[in-house]
Amino acid sequence: MRRVRPGDAVPEIAPILEVHNLVKQYPSVTAVDGVSFAVPEGTCFGLLGPNGAGKTTTIEIMEGILPPTSGEVRYRGEPLGARFREEAGILFQKTALQDFLSVRQSVALFRGLYGQGLDVDEVLKVCALEKLASRDNRKLSGGQQQRLLLAIALVNDPKVLFLDEPTTGLDPQARRNFWELVESIKARRKTIILTTHYMEEAQLLCDEIAIMDGGRIVAQGAPQQLLTEHFSEVLLELPRHEFPEVARQLPLKLIDASDRVEISTHDLDGTLRALIEARVPLRNLRIRPANLEDLFLELTGKELRT
């Protein structure tokens, strides 16, 4: 069930995927602990959370790869079945392909497993792999490898696409390149389920996000809506070595970061006046609105997990 929050618009589009009270229990740990949400067709839904939050377990249950301990996933109102397998495209966090196959042969192998789908050449073109078509799949760079795995995920022209941390380990350029690809897929009205721990990625691609921690969803909604809900404040950042000790006496909400001091406030004018009066040098002051990273850290904590 989609969590309806005050002020939420009633979803107009029927959900393509519904997750009902999922639980995944391992002998020593509960990886997913009662997760429910719904994904409307044609939207991009992001699962965010620190490592070990239960994102991959949740998405693998949704993909039909892992059986849940309890709860269920429904695709177009029905339990996952043959139709889901035909219509879902999946990109796992780690996938090895068959050795000695070229890029084209790897895509063609998977094309052969589906009744319906795109032409192999078309998929190669969409993922900018035409020039690499005859290269051995083991001789690709990280970004090229991810594009090939995306091509394989798209080969059946899926209605719903699962991307599990698709840009982890890629350099910034390859990451941006991959985002552009995902945006072009989004433009074709595909439903996308994405897990990531890059907030920028979530903010750019997702219509709705759920932040997970300890196997549960701790916040859910549109990125902007979540930020408005959790942060009515702006953040002022000052280099730590320029922040005089006396200024710590001011009635301000201070957060110490390693090299800077962050001040969170509703009253920007008043805070600036107070800082000027306290003779705090402001030439390196930065003012920024809170972003998803702040929200993420606020909800999941900043300390290292043990």
Partner 1 sequence: MMKRLLAVWHARNLEFLRDRPTLLFTLLLPLGVVIGMGFIFGGPPRPLFTVGVIGNTIDTHANPFLHERYVQSVPIHSEADGLYKVTHQSIDLLLDLEGTARYWVNTDSPKGYIVEKLLIATGSGARRQPVTGQAVRYVDWLFPGILAMNMMFSCLFGVGYVVLRYRKSGFLKRLHATPLSAFEFLSAQVLSRLSLIIFVTAILYVAIAAIIHFHSAGSIALLLLLAVLGSLSMIALGLTIAARFASEELVGGLLNLLTWPMMLLSGVWFSIEGSPRWVQWAADIFPLTQVIDAARAVMLEGAGIGRITPNLIYLAVTTLVFLAFGAWSFRWRVE
* Interacting residues with partner 1 (CB under 8 A): 63-65, 82, 85-86, 88, 90, 92, 94-98, 110, 113-115, 152, 156
| Cβ 150 to partner 1 shortest distance, Å | 13
| Cβ 95 to partner 1 shortest distance, Å | 5
164 or 294: CB nearest partner 1: 164
DSSP string, the chain: -PPP-TTPPPP-SPEEEEEEEEEEEETTEEEEEEEEEEEETT-EEEEE-STTSSHHHHHHHHTTSS--SEEEEEETTEES-HHHHHHEEEE-SS-PPPTT-BHHHHHHHHHTT-SS---HHHHHHHTT-GGGTTSBGGG--HHHHHHHHHHHHHTT--SEEEEESTTTT--HHHHHHHHHHHHHHHTTT-EEEEEES-HHHHHHH-SEEEEEETTEEEEEE-HHHHHHHH--SEEEEEEGGGS-GGGGGSS-EEEE-SSEEEEEES-HHHHHHHHHHTT---TT-EEEE--HHHHHHHHH-SSPP-
| Cβ 41 to partner 1 shortest distance, Å | 20
CA distance 212 to 199: 13
Hey, what are 11's tokens? 């979803």
149 or 209: CB nearest partner 1: 149
| Cβ 214 to partner 1 shortest distance, Å | 24
9 or 96: CB nearest partner 1: 96
85 or 216: CB nearest partner 1: 85
22 or 88: CB nearest partner 1: 88
88 or 217: CB nearest partner 1: 88
| Cβ 143 to partner 1 shortest distance, Å | 19
| Cβ 44 to partner 1 shortest distance, Å | 20
| Cβ 268 to partner 1 shortest distance, Å | 50
111 or 176: CB nearest partner 1: 111
